[in-house]
Amino acid sequence: MYEMSSDQRKTHEAEREERAAQRAREKVERAEDRVREHSERAQQQVARALERVAEAEDRAGEKVAEALKRAERADGMAPDEDFEPLVWFRDEPSSRRPAHSRADIARAAVEIADSEGFDAVSMRRVAQRLGAGTMTLYHYVRNKDELITLMSDAVMAEIVVPEEELADDWRAALTQIAIRTRAVFAAHRWIFERMGDGRPGPSGLRHFEQSLQAVAPLGLGRNETFELIGLVDDYVFGYSLREQQELEEHERGWPPEVRDFFRRELESGRYPRISAFFDNDFDSSFNAVLEFLNQPGRFERGLNRLLDGIEAELNPPK
């Protein structure tokens, strides 16, 4: 009968121990997988439960808001109309020392949107930030649309230049308003996602009033005034939106496949002007262009060129 040598026995024993260790590792991995699956299911169940709670709170809050509206109409405090008046025409809850205000609610919602993105904003999250019950907020704000309206107006309030700081010269004043608007948009990057969701508010009217004040020395007619203000607004909005897109692209970075696409397309010879623009050296020139786009002062240079053109049209050579 064949008998293994000492070295063979050691090798056989080592292999047996390795197989046993492998089985133990696989057993641990399977156990970890089961724990992970259980944990994920539990987290999903918790998330769904929280969503149901939030939905239930929203439904209850909307019922509270509807009951308040009916009570106001019954008391003659609110008009019985086919449309719902905007939040600005409804008094805030009154008491000797009210715990909150619509300004507090707007500020809390904006802070959440700034730090976590607009999708994180909900009546429940705002209430938590204020240390209030969700139902309490519905006495101030009846639905998510009104919350967005308050948020939009709070952002517009930041755009208004303090009255004592607004320049008397039309060009200097429009420059102040434009620079301030761009800075506010940069601070609240989510605003472009919700620009059309909110309803008009007093801060938006103050901004327009201030724009009219800025160009009043020119003595233009209504159409010319509106066109001038609109030109500057269009530049600021367009630049700010493009700036946000560029910032997001910079944060994400250009993936290798995108650079490879551009490089291959330029090497095909179908885009001679673009190739010449990049000096036939795509990588270094592309990086140089990105650096140029992020240069400080580019916004002001473009604004000055726009205002130069407007001023030249207002004062044509004789």
Q: What is the CATH number of the domain that holds 182?
A: 1.10.357.10
114 domain residue, yes or no: yes
For residue 296, the model assigns a pLDDT of 81
Same domain, 218 and 132: no
For residue 54, the model assigns a pLDDT of 57
202 domain residue, yes or no: yes
Same domain, 173 and 294: yes
Single-letter amino acid code for the residue at 170: W
For residue 153, the model assigns a pLDDT of 93
Residue ranges in the chain assigned as alpha helix (H): 6-74, 102-116, 123-130, 134-137, 144-159, 170-187, 202-215, 222-252, 256-267, 272-277, 282-293, 298-314
Tokens 């330029």 belong to 266
State the Cα–Cα distance between residues 315 and 224, nearest whole angstrom: 14
State the Cα–Cα distance between residues 243 and 249, nearest whole angstrom: 10
Give average pLDDT by consecutive 10-residue segment, the chain, 318 residues. 66 79 81 74 61 59 57 53 71 66 93 93 90 84 88 94 95 97 94 76 94 95 95 94 80 76 85 82 70 80 95 84
Same domain, 133 and 169: no
Tokens representing 109?
């919602």
Same domain, 164 and 125: no
State the Cα–Cα distance between residues 217 and 170, nearest whole angstrom: 7
Same domain, 241 and 267: yes
46 φψ region: left (φ > 0), alpha (ψ -120 to 50), beta (else)? alpha
43 domain residue, yes or no: yes
Cβ(282)–Cβ(262) below 8 Å: yes
For residue 154, the model assigns a pLDDT of 94
Indicate the SS3 state at residue 258.
helix
223 domain residue, yes or no: yes
Same domain, 68 and 182: no
3 domain residue, yes or no: no
Number of structural domains (the chain) is 2
Tokens representing 18?
């390795």
Same domain, 76 and 36: yes
Same domain, 130 and 191: no
282 domain residue, yes or no: yes
Domain that holds residue 80: 17-84+98-142
Cβ(141)–Cβ(64) below 8 Å: no
H or E element, residue 100? none
Same domain, 190 and 307: yes
Single-letter amino acid code for the residue at 153: D
State the Cα–Cα distance between residues 246 and 289, nearest whole angstrom: 12
State the Cα–Cα distance between residues 168 and 40, nearest whole angstrom: 62
pTM assigned to the model: 0.69
Same domain, 203 and 240: yes
